[in-house]
Structure 1
Amino acid sequence: MKTQELQQSLSDILEKVDDVVVDYLIPNAKKWDTERAFPRENLAALGEEGLLGLMIPKELGGMGGTPRIYKEVVVKLAQACASTALVYVQHTSAASIMLYGKQQPYISEQLGLMAQGKRLATIALSEAGSGCYFFLPVSQAEKIDKNFRLNTNKTMVTSAGEADIYVTNSKATFAKNSMQSNFYVIPKEHPGITLGGIWEGMGLRGNQSAPMTIDCQLDEEMLIGKEGEGFKIVRESLLPMGQIGISALNIGIAKAIYEESVSYVKKRFYAHINTNLSNFQSIQQIVGEMKIICDQAEKALDTVVLKLEQNQLDMVSTLEIKVMACQAAMQLADLGLKVCGGYAYSAHSPIERYIRDSKAGSVMGPTPEVLKELIGKIVLDVPTQL
């Protein structure tokens, strides 16, 4: 796509996003957080604008968006409602896995429905035995003729009970380790899907995470790609787009904290000394630091996005961008508290929600600590056993 066409496409898409943000996300963000309610209206509006098909190719009815456009969309969503952004990222992550099997009739049909805004997807991967390596399953499928028998407990599924499509995984029927795995597409109405209790998190309260039991027989057409190709799909499809999405989510949260802090500082006036908070040198230094951290993280993500678009993305860059983004969000949360004081600590201010949301990145697998270890092993040429 030519630069001028790309810029026009980006402008048109971001205009659609801005409309949804202003009409739905901003007015309802506090409600979804307070009530721990799933943001159905937000997702429906995104679907009506075709944004649930952002990264689905045009030949399947989608927008055929680029990683750059995806990053910009997620940042904007996260600045307004991080719960909606997380649901959107998991939907897009599911789509990226499914696109590996886009030539398969059943998979192609489901992608077409997603592009039309008629189907919301999510990933159902994490198991108790896999910990933060959520993409490495412990459960193993059985082969029944050409079909599969799956019995697995997924510990934390975003949009649980709300999504229309679940992309899940298991070890392949012949697997000797978790890297020899399968991915499947399961519609919500398929028999054998049972929800556990809702996981009530400190932040991102509207994403409706819950455990899920999948005990059912799956038709051969529900397998994405071929048996045992799961880790290849993770490496080529899930990991790049998933890391960009979660990183953009955290940068969006960081930017929301920064912008709310700047707004507060500019308005806060001390009558007894007849001066504004913005005139304090210590505050100016902290706000300057906040600006630098946000810009550094976003520029690093832009570099990773560019590498992906040019087919030059390396594993270290793929892993380290999430660490940078999560650290940026948590650093901004601490600095925002310093700058805004009691205002940031109050549930009556939006910054209090942003701060709670910022902590999620530190526990989402793979966690920053695990990613640092993996990066260190790559740099030091130490074999990684998964």
Structure 2
Amino acid sequence: MTVTDLPRTAWRPADLERAVSEVEAEAARYAEVCDREARFPAEALEAMRRTGLLGLLVPAEDGGPGGGTADLLAVSSRLSRTCMSVGMIFTMHCQQVAAVVRDGGPLRERLLPRIVRGELYLASVTTEAAGGGHLLSSGSQLTAGDDSTVRVDRFAPVVTGGSHADGFLITALAPDATSPSRLSLVYADRDQLTVTVRGGWNPMGMRATHSAPLHLAGEIPRDQVVGEHGAFRDIAVRTFAPLAHLGWAACWQGAADGALQRVVTLLRAERRRHDLDSPLLLARLSRVRQRLDTVHALITHTASVLASAEDTTSPPVQLLVNAVKLTASELCPAAADELTDLMGMRHGYLKDSPTGLERTLRDLRSAPLNYSNDRLHAADGVLALMDREVRHV
């Protein structure tokens, strides 16, 4: 299936299944070498372009498949069963697309058709050398160029897939900022910037995301702002944070689900080597399944609440969104660790086991660090004090 084969109104389930299967096959084919070499999964990205999957969240009226949050979460989870880096690359791109769809204004007409055609893979430039992953602060400021441009001069220590991106959504202080909270979100095409890789990428896990540090500099048209200058906080609260926490959680759950599936398949195939009636084995499988079902239920509930809430910025909703990230980042690594104990040295710890647990463990170790759980708990403490009625949603 090529991009030109896609319906102009909306995908049928079979269309989405074909697209995901094609990307999944490429991810599986290169997962080991991309992990070993910390190489970006260019083949999987090409499949996302070719199938139109990059445009999943583009509305039908804009020529896209018209996918929603549930589709995003299902695809991110599915891809992560094979390669969590590919799932994360996809969900981070879709987060950027959602911001353009909701707040892009005139940018929608210029960017959405390119995304649907597979021409525009978007990277997020929000991290700071001093502030880490804190979304609502920046040490960089947009400065006035000529009458119609602003100048970007931005260093980011972590940019997922940035070396391969066709365009960037970049946070920086607004040109007229008088306080550190007046951040803008701007779009820049790659050919509008000088993009310089400022370091290597040799992490414990998530190696194929190739999230190397970048320096971006150049002048862009003043109207390439998403939302309004200085109003990024609204985009962060309504779009970036919810989709990040739900999308990341879906990736973590998918990776752990994939590990459980491979373990159960191996146990069934080697039942003569394993006592499948062992109370210890059964209890460990039960705990793993309980953890993953808990994460899945919380993701599903939170997505439903966000879809129907009158005010997604209220403390109860924000606490629920944050709970998804915190819970998934704790329970999914715990599930993989339990499976490692269950399978022992040969099929839990060794790199060449068909269970793939060693890579899954390394990848999932990033979950509590991907926007620090400590920072998120501190924010939740403030939100809990604001929720005077102690409401649950």
Settle same-fold status: TM greater than 0.5: yes
Which of these residues, 356, 359, 365, is aligned with residue 353 of structure 1?
359
SS at match of 1:55: coil
Aligned to 1:82: 84
Within 5 Å, give how 1:146-165 maps onto structure 2.
146-165=148-167
**Is the Cα–Cα contact under 8 Å of residues 203 and 360 in structure 1 kept in the other structure?**
yes
Quick one: distance in 1 between partners of 2:335 and 2:169?
33
Structure 1 residues not aligned, in runs of 5+: 1-7
Partner of 1:381: 386
Match of 2:302 in 1: 304
Task: Indicate if the aligned counterparts of 1:265 and 1:339 stay in contact, CA closer than 8 A.
Answer: no
- Paired position in structure 1 for 2:287: 289
Return the offset for 1:282.
0.5
Q: State the match for 1:142 in structure 2.
A: 143
Alignment match of 1:316 (pick from 304, 315, 319):
319
Distance 1:41 1:363, change over 3 A: same
Change (3 A) 1:381 1:22: closer
Assess, with a 3 A threshold, how the Cα gap between structure 1 residues 13 and 286 changes in structure 2: closer, same or farther: farther
Kept after mapping to 2: 8 A contact 1:244/1:305:
yes
Residue aligned with 2:164, SS: coil
* Cα distance in 2 for residues equivalent to 1:168 and 1:340: 44
- 8 Å contact from structure 2 (residues 125, 170) kept in 1: yes
What's the counterpart of residue 368 of structure 1? Answer: 373
* Deviation of 1:297 (Å): 0.4
TM-score calculated relative to the size of structure 2: 0.88
Give the equivalent residue in structure 1 for 2:26. 24
What residue is the counterpart of 1:118 in the other structure?
119
Q: Which of 219, 222, 225 is matched with 1:223 structurally?
A: 225
Q: Name the TM-score, length of structure 1 as normaliser.
A: 0.90
Q: Check conservation: 1:121, 1:166, Cα contact below 8 A.
A: yes
Q: 1:236 aligned to 235, 238, 243, which one? A: 238
- Do 2:88 and 2:248's aligned partners in 1 also have CA atoms closer than 8 Å? yes
- 1:97: Cα distance to partner? 2.1
CA spacing shift, 1:137–1:10, aligned 2, 3 Å = farther
Q: Secondary structure, in 3 states, of the residue corresponding to 1:157?
A: coil
The unaligned stretches of length 5 or more in structure 2 are 1-9, 388-393
Counterpart of 2:269? Answer: 267
**106-115 vs 211-220, which deviates more?**
106-115
Aligned residues: 370
CA shift for structure 1 position 76: 0.2
The structural deviation recorded for 1:266 is 2.8
Partner Cα distance (2:19, 2:307) in 1: 22
Checking the alignment, whether the CA contact within 8 Å between 2:141 and 2:172 is kept in structure 1 is yes
CA distance in structure 1 between the partners assigned to 2:266 and 2:50 by the alignment: 35
What is the deviation of 1:150?
2.2
Following superposition of structure 1 onto structure 2, how do residues 37-116 of structure 1 map, counting pairs within 5 Å?
A: 37-104=39-106, 106-116=107-117
Query: How large is the RMSD of aligned CA atoms in angstroms?
Result: 2.1
Report deviation, 1:269: 4.9
Cα distance in 1 for partners of 2:20, 2:62 equals: 25
Matches of 1:253 and 1:299, distance apart in 2: 16
